[in-house]
């Protein structure tokens, strides 16, 4: 019998979804996520793989049912499969209902079959363009064929792939239907994400890149019959089905559509900081209680105290045409 009370926040939301960044490093330098010359954290600040196991296992004991691993690029973390294989025991016991991953796809050719063997069944791949030159431009270091090969490997291994595309004005607007058709042809769901005001990257004014998903949706509606779907996957996406193709398209609109009322998730950074809300600076240091004692009581207490501070919603707002409510940290630190 589980004697642990579940994690309930002040607004009666059960927190059962944990996103964990396992590294701040990445083999790409996407312009909306990182600056080109990033300074990465010293290794000693990062949670070790054993600490990540203990941390996640504690959250699972407190009722977390879904674990999404992010980065940076999670698959560039040395020996990361050790951690995934450790999490398999929670899937086997039924304590964890889903273990999943958000990746840039660059390492999937190497890891797809191992991930499936560890119990993973679906992954999200971040991909904003199918144009090789534009891909190299936006990722700075990335190469599209490597990612496409990775997606092939993932599907071959039995992983269901969802594509996440950041909607960027003047960059991938003209690829809307190309992306949609490509995903349909491969039986992959597609989610569009509005660009977010995170981190000062030195060379981008995010207002120039902002492409409202209302506009994107309207363009889809000119060509297809859009059926609103009630389903939620425990994340912020709203889904429609294109009646003509049957495919599912998601929209994540952190700025124009507030989805906070049903938020069931918290984020753990690679250094053990717990952010109760992606759009707020408030966080709790869980690394200190984790490292202070081999007993998990202090860690559990720190987690409960943090969840008790989870806010009702965030402060992002583009409507005033100046970037208020900006968060100073990079996406690569918090975990995309």
Give the tens place of pLDDT for each residue, 285-323: 999 999 999 999 999 999 999 999 998 887 654 433 344
Arithmetic mean of pLDDT, 226-249:
86
pLDDT at 331: 53
Q: Are strands 273-275 and 265-268 parallel, antiparallel or unpaired?
A: antiparallel
Using one digit for the tens of pLDDT, what is the confidence trace for 14-58? 999 999 999 999 999 988 788 888 889 999 999 999 999 999 999
pLDDT band at 258 (very low <50, low <70, confident <90, very high): low
On the question of pLDDT at 4 being above 90, the answer is no
Statement: the pTM of the whole predicted model exceeds 0.75: yes
Cβ-contact 211, 195 below 8 angstroms: yes
CB atoms near residue 48 (< 10 Å): 12
Beta carbons of 25 and 76 less than 8 angstroms apart: yes
Contacting residues for 21 by C-beta, under 8 A, at least 6 apart: 70, 71, 72, 74, 267, 268, 269, 270, 333, 334, 335
Q: How many CB atoms lie within 10 A of CB 170?
A: 9
Whether residue 196 has pLDDT greater than 70:
no
- Residue 64 CB-density burial (10 A; 0-12 exposed, 13-18 middle, 19+ buried): buried
Kindly state the tokens that stand for 65.
């049912």
Confidence of residue 207 (pLDDT cuts 50, 70, 90): very low
Per-residue confidence (pLDDT) for residue 329, from 0 to 100: 52
Write down the residue that tokens 């607004």 correspond to. 11
More confident residue, 132 or 39: 132
> Which tokens sit at 205?
């004014």
Tell me what pLDDT residue 317 has: 47
Q: Is the per-residue pLDDT at 199 higher than 80?
A: no
Average pLDDT score, the chain: 88
**pLDDT at residue 209 in the model:** 74
Least confident segment among 92-101, 223-232, 320-329? 320-329
- Of the candidates 38, 9, 36, the residue with the CA atom closest to the CA atom of residue 333: 38
Residue 139 has pLDDT above 80, yes or no: yes
Surface-to-core class of residue 161, CB atoms within 10 Å of its CB (0-12 exposed, 13-18 middle, 19+ buried): buried
């Amino acid at each position: 019998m589980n004697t642990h009370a579940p994690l309930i926040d002040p607004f009666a939301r059960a927190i059962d979804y944990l996103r964990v960044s396992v590294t701040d490093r990445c083999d790409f330098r996407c312009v909306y996520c990182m600056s080109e010359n990033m300074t990465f954290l010293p290794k000693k600040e990062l949670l070790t793989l054993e600490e990540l196991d203990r941390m996640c296992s504690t959250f699972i004991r407190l009722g977390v049912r879904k674990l999404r691993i992010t980065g940076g690029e999670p698959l560039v973390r040395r020996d990361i499969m050790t951690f995934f294989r450790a999490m398999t025991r929670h899937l086997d016991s039924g304590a964890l209902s889903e273990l999943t991953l958000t990746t840039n796809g660059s390492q999937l050719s190497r890891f797809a079959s191992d991930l499936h063997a560890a119990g993973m069944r679906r992954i999200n791949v971040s991909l904003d363009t199918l144009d090789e030159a534009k891909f190299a431009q936006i990722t700075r270091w990335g190469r599209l064929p490597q990612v496409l090969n990775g997606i092939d490997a993932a599907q071959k291994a039995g992983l269901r792939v969802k594509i996440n595309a950041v909607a960027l004005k003047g960059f991938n607007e003209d690829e809307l239907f190309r992306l949609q058709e490509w995903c349909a042809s491969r039986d992959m769901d597609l989610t569009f994400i509005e660009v977010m005001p995170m981190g000062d990257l030195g060379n981008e004014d995010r207002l120039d890149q902002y492409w409202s998903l209302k506009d994107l949706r309207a363009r889809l509606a000119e060509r297809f019959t859009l059926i609103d779907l009630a389903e939620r996957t425990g994340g912020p996406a709203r889904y429609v089905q294109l009646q003509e193709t049957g495919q599912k398209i998601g929209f994540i609109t952190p700025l124009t559509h507030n989805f906070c009322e049903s938020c069931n998730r918290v984020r753990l950074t690679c250094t053990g900081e717990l952010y109760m809300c992606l759009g707020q600076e408030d966080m709790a240091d869980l690394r200190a209680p984790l490292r202070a004692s081999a007993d998990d009581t202090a860690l559990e207490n720190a987690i409960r105290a943090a969840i008790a501070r989870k806010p009702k919603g965030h402060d992002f707002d583009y409507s005033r045409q100046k970037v208020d409510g900006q968060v100073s940290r990079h996406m690569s630190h918090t975990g995309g």
